[in-house]
Structure 1
Amino acid sequence: MRLINLHPGKRGSQILAVLPFALLVVVYLAASAARHAANTSDKLLPTLSQMAAAMKMMAFTQDMATGQYLLWSDTLASLTRLVEGLAISVAISFVIGIAVGMVPYLRKLLVPFIAAFSMVPPLAILPILFIIAGIGETAKVTLIVIGTAPFIVRDLILRVEELPLAQLIKAQTLGATSWQIALRVVMPQMLPRLIDALRLSLGPAWLYLISAEAIAAQDGLGYRIFLVRRYFAMNIIIPYVIWITLLAFLFDIALRLIQRYAFPWFAGAKSQ
């Protein structure tokens, strides 16, 4: 039997999914124990107890300067920027993606520009954003929009172009206008695909957010990581990185659940 035809069962799938994480933890614990055995003051690979103590301080002890619980205030600040940036990006991308995908004149006019603009490294224009918009929230949110919108737009344009031509011809035969075709035929089919594009944009969005916070911010997860790095506080940096990863993972799960329950026909079509 060929390897490509072998499929694990439900229990096997669960074990395989957990195995890489378990191996990573085991390797880290072994490396941390070895370093601390050689040097009890080692800071590069803190022990679990050291990280737990640091996170207890960050999450449940009020900061003397601000009176806030830093982990939660940082998380709220970062999530606010992330959600605002992605919301604007999705709104812009959905309108432009459908319009350009449907209208040939717009495709000829904008597709080359969008393709070229998507190649501009967003982090390279971050200094320009800070000069134009200042170092406040506007520049950080704008960076997320610039970094994610072009790719979502390009994906939606391709998805619109892949729609069966027969659907559009039938709608026109029944007397539908371009506006009605967009509302009744194209948009309902693009909504679940928009969620897929948004899921793929979560990683880059976090990257741009953390980068912007590291350069110019007074709060946020990225700001905190780059603030404590000067003290070599790996017992805070590593848990913060894990926390960011967990938040991104939960975002992805939430989007998948929304797609599954709001558009069950789409999940069925993908499984065929």
Structure 2
Amino acid sequence: MKRLINLKPARPARVALALLPFLVIAFVYMSASSARLAENPNDRLLPSPAKMTDTITGLATEANVRTGSIPLWADTKASLRRLAIGVGISAFAALIFGLFSGGLPLFRAPFSPLITVVSLIPPLAILPILFIVFGTGELSKVVLIVIGITPFLIRDLTGEALRLPEEQRIKAQTLGANSWQVLLRVLLPQLTPRLLSATRLALGSAWLFLIAAEAIAAQDGLGYRIFLVRRYLSMDVILPYVAWITLLAFIIDQALVWISRLAFPWYHVDEDKS
């Protein structure tokens, strides 16, 4: 008798099981939407799929009279630019700090407690401070993302470096490697794929900080558009924008997976076995 814990679905079943929750959510939404629209055709809380399709098509094809730009693509470009700059700076800083903190005890001793304390500060709590110090332009939004996810990435990479077998460093030094060579040839190659994995986990928080900053002070961006139309209860705009943000996040996540598997196939050996 096979135990439940040992049962693994075949690929077709795995695909079907993955789609099942989404189909259930779609069915529940369409049922609730139909019921509300039957009672009130002007209901704005649960718009029909056709209404959302028409609205998002207009936002994706028709230029704004005031700005001359197409809202969906202008908002997407603005948000992705801020996200890319913020996450890029965070990843680079985390790799440098994580490498030195994980490899040099004299570096880790003063900076590790500081990073731990900074990581406990709620980034959204200091958002007003960032607006005061850096203004309401692009810089404050990028800084919020950097402050929000960099400490997490640093702590993750430092922990990964400390978990690596000590024998690797001892053997490298036995073969004549100095401190820089140990950092660059032993630690760095093993921390880089971990950085991609940690960045994937941090992307959700990065999107959260971006949307929050755009909602408070911005003239474009996906978060700006959502909070702009909320006062009109325009769920036919909000829901497609949320779905679009989710799709963008999924594409970025899968792109990082693809890069990691292509550049560091050895890092995913255990995953491929499962």
Give unpaired runs (5+ residues) of structure 1: none
**Equivalence map 1:161-200=2 (5 Å):** 161-200=162-201
Aligned to 1:228: 229
> Matched residues in 1 for 2:198 and 2:26: separation?
31
> Matched residues in 1 for 2:228 and 2:161: separation?
45
Aligned to 1:148: 149
> Matched residues in 2 for 1:137 and 1:63: separation?
22
1:44 to 2:28 alignment? no
Give unpaired runs (5+ residues) of structure 2: none
Aligned to 1:16: 17
> Matched residues in 2 for 1:235 and 1:268: separation?
44
> Matched residues in 1 for 2:214 and 2:144: separation?
11
Aligned to 2:69: 68
1:247 to 2:248 alignment? yes
What TM-score do you get using the length of structure 2 for normalisation? 0.98
For 1:191, give the aligned amino acid. T
Aligned to 1:29: 30
Residue 111 of structure 1 and its aligned partner are, at CA, apart by: 1.3
1:226-269, CA deviations, whole angstroms, 9 ceiling, x for partnerless residues?
00111111000000000000000000000000011110111114
Residue 270 of structure 1 and its aligned partner are, at CA, apart by: 4.4
1:238 to 2:217 alignment? no
Aligned to 1:82: 83
What TM-score do you get using the length of structure 1 for normalisation? 0.99
RMSD of aligned residue pairs (Cα, Å): 0.8
Q: Percent identity?
A: 53
Aligned to 2:123: 122
SS of the equivalent of 2:202 reads helix
For 2:21, give the aligned amino acid. P
> Matched residues in 2 for 1:17 and 1:100: separation?
40
For 1:147, give the aligned amino acid. G
Aligned to 1:201: 202
SS of the equivalent of 1:244 reads helix
Q: Aligned pairs, how many?
A: 272
